[in-house]
Structure 1
């Protein structure tokens, strides 16, 4: 399994729309490769239908799984006139992707309480309409996360535990005065230019780099 984060970083709403389009494109590529994609966590953008960032779990045969993740790592460019600002001159929008190993679930940070809840939010096909969503709470600190995917409650529980442990790890590093984790800093370190992949137009059609 690999975790893949795609983010607009601090970019404008057009970059957030690009993240949504990238997620749709990645899902199509994953289906062809026989890789399952699950949304672990998402941060909505400033306009409906956009995403500031999305954290995904890729699950499949090691070779196609790794190749798919590699294709979405680095700087990604979207060339398109802004659908939100008609007279805006800028046509180049950037997002970025990075792959991570999911944290191993352990009892290092103490007790975690789990609660089944109904999924919510504008996640579309990625939101389960049943009560299989899971809220995981770290009892000692009160920190909690909610995971809602189209998979089973058991799968959501595992993902919630991993996500919570990842956030607790970041918190521990911060409290110790260390640098924030690589995944957290990824939101603020997008490289503008030198794109690994380039997509064009509202159809998000890939163009050779």
Structure 2
């Protein structure tokens, strides 16, 4: 199963572009569901106007993600009248859909954990005071550490400490990912205005169909055939 992180952004575009992001997000998520691709919204920045989204970052998990994203990555165009400035002359609005570099997650290797047995404190009678059953565990690469004294069994406390360290590192990874997302958002402040990957029109956001015309090709074939017969 592949994992990719996608950002749909209005960058420094006006409220109209943030409105487009909100509309496109609904279409994007609907197509993910239809393609049976799992998704998690990691980060979202709402726009100034109600119902608008300046930027949203989504984690995708599934098969053949690259094939699915061929129809999305790049600039996306909406052709329509401003929803906020009725008489605004501009009719073409662009947003961006990008794949972000994935942050390398830190994983727990039990060989990197340093354990220290210490005496438990608190209620529990003489047994607690005499036996060093509590465990302090430290993950050397990240410096994360936990103290566990849930059980009178040092072995059980070690197992619990490992689980809690994993949870702590997972939280650390999420924090790092969010920082990475904020940083990369700054890199997408300028959008390509031409050659859109997808184009939508009207208030209902129907995709603009590209009608293929073979008239020019037929005329060229007729000309070539005529030359051959001469």
- Flag whether TM exceeds 0.5 (same fold): yes
More helix by share: 2
- Is residue 204 of structure 2 the alignment partner of residue 203 of structure 1? yes
User: Which whole-Å CA distance do the structure 1 matches of 2:31 and 2:20 have between them?
Assistant: 16
Deviation by residue 1:43-79 (Cα, 9 ceiling, x = unmatched) = 1101111100000011112x1x222233221111001
User: Which whole-Å CA distance do the structure 1 matches of 2:93 and 2:175 have between them?
Assistant: 31
> Secondary structure of the residue that 1:28 maps to in structure 2?
helix
> Secondary structure of the residue that 1:83 maps to in structure 2?
coil
Larger CA deviation: 191-200 vs 98-107: 98-107
Determine which structure has more spread, i.e. the larger CA radius of gyration.
Answer: 2
Structural mapping, 1:66-145, within 5 Å: 66-106=66-106, 110-111=143-144
User: Which residue of the partner structure matches residue 11 of structure 1?
Assistant: 13
Residues 167 and 33 of structure 1: CA distance in aligned 2, closer, same or farther (over 3 Å): closer
Equivalent of 1:23, from 18, 22, 25? 25
User: Which whole-Å CA distance do the structure 2 matches of 1:110 and 1:93 have between them?
Assistant: 47
Equivalent of 1:56, from 55, 58, 68? 58
1:26 offset after TM fit, Å? 0.5
1:161 offset after TM fit, Å? 4.0
1:184 offset after TM fit, Å? 3.2
Residues 24 and 112 of structure 1: CA distance in aligned 2, closer, same or farther (over 3 Å): farther
Residues 206 and 170 of structure 1: CA distance in aligned 2, closer, same or farther (over 3 Å): closer
Paired residues of 2:38 and 2:60 also in contact (CA < 8 A): yes
The number of equivalent residue pairs is 154
Residues 206 and 164 of structure 1: CA distance in aligned 2, closer, same or farther (over 3 Å): same
TM-score normalised by the chain length of structure 1 = 0.65
> Secondary structure of the residue that 2:16 maps to in structure 1?
helix
Q: For the aligned residues, what is the CA RMSD? A: 2.7
User: Which residue of the partner structure matches residue 175 of structure 2?
Assistant: 164
Unaligned 5+ residue runs, structure 2? 108-140, 147-166, 211-230
TM-score normalised by the chain length of structure 2 = 0.59
